[in-house]
């Protein structure tokens, strides 16, 4: 199976977006990028991965982030002012890696504002994976190995951080359907069903692009 399409996947925590992307990439035999983007960014920037990892898909400790997260204090924003530079540096490095990966050909990119970074390209399918909270709790506990204690709060907190990061760097709403080409519910159709849906949608978009270029 061949493709000329690039897929970006944003996902609610525990929705299985990583697995959807991984399976899609395997099916299409194309490169898959998720957390390895952090490794590549750290190497390019000459920074320890552990340092960058602490900022991955997390907004800065800026005044704006503090307001969004409801935790602003003047002392905190000043004390952690250096976080703004590190977060921005990571975002720019990751964006560069995502663009370079897309320039090489079809691939799947999970998170890291990939849908926004590649917004000028016509060969991108922008996907958002969602699921109901019971599905996400089950996935987080059984597949991700998280503890059940206060798991729902932990899931929603991760979502809030991802949303704040996305909103901060893109100026768009992370959970707004208009930010994407396709939204899929893994709790409604399952992981494999989501993969099939994304694949079918991507093939349709590809045929339409080809027809438009004839």
The predicted-structure confidence for 158-182, as pLDDT tens digits, reads as follows 999 999 999 988 999 999 999 999 9
Q: Where are the domains of the chain?
A: 6-207
DSSP class of residue 127 equals: E
Mean pLDDT of 187-213: 96
> Are 186 and 15 contacting, i.e. CB atoms less than 8 angstroms apart?
yes
45: confidence class by pLDDT, cuts 50, 70, 90: confident
Helix axes 151-170, 133-142, angle to 10 degrees: 100
Give 80-97 pLDDT, tens digit per residue: 444 446 778 888 899 999
User: At which residue do the structure tokens 């917004």 appear?
Assistant: 119
- The model's pLDDT over 25-42, given as tens digits with 9 standing for 90+, comes to 999 999 999 999 988 988
What is the C-alpha separation between 88 and 86, in angstroms, rounded?
5
| pTM, 2 dp | 0.85
Given a cut of 80, whether residue 22 has pLDDT beyond it is yes
Q: Say how many CA atoms lie within 13 Å of 39 toward its Cβ.
A: 4
Domain 6-207 sits in which CATH superfamily?
P-loop containing nucleotide triphosphate hydrolases (3.40.50.300)
Phi-psi region of 2 (alpha: psi -120 to 50; beta: other; left: phi over 0): beta
Is residue 104's pLDDT more than 90? yes
């Amino acid at each position: 199976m061949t493709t000329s399409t690039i897929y970006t996947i944003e996902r609610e925590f525990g929705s299985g977006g990583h697995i959807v992307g991984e399976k899609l990439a395997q099916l299409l035999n194309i490169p898959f990028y998720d957390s390895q983007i952090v490794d590549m960014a750290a190497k390019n920037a000459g920074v320890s991965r552990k340092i960058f990892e602490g900022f991955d898909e997390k907004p800065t400790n800026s005044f704006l982030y503090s307001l969004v997260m409801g935790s602003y204090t003047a002392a905190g924003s000043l004390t952690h002012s250096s976080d703004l530079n590190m977060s921005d540096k990571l975002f720019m490095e990751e964006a560069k890696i995502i663009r370079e990966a897309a320039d090489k050909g079809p691939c799947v990119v999970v998170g890291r504002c990939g849908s926004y970074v590649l917004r000028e390209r016509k060969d991108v399918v922008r996907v958002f994976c969602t699921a109901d909270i019971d599905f996400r709790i089950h996935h987080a506990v059984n597949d991700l190995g998280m503890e059940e204690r206060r798991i729902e709060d932990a899931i929603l907190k991760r979502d809030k951080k991802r949303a704040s990061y996305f909103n901060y760097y893109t100026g768009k709403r992370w959970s707004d359907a208009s930010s994407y080409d396709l939204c899929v519910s893994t709790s409604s159709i399952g992981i494999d069903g989501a993969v099939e849906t994304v694949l079918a949608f991507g093939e349709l978009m590809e045929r339409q692009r080809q027809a438009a270029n004839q």
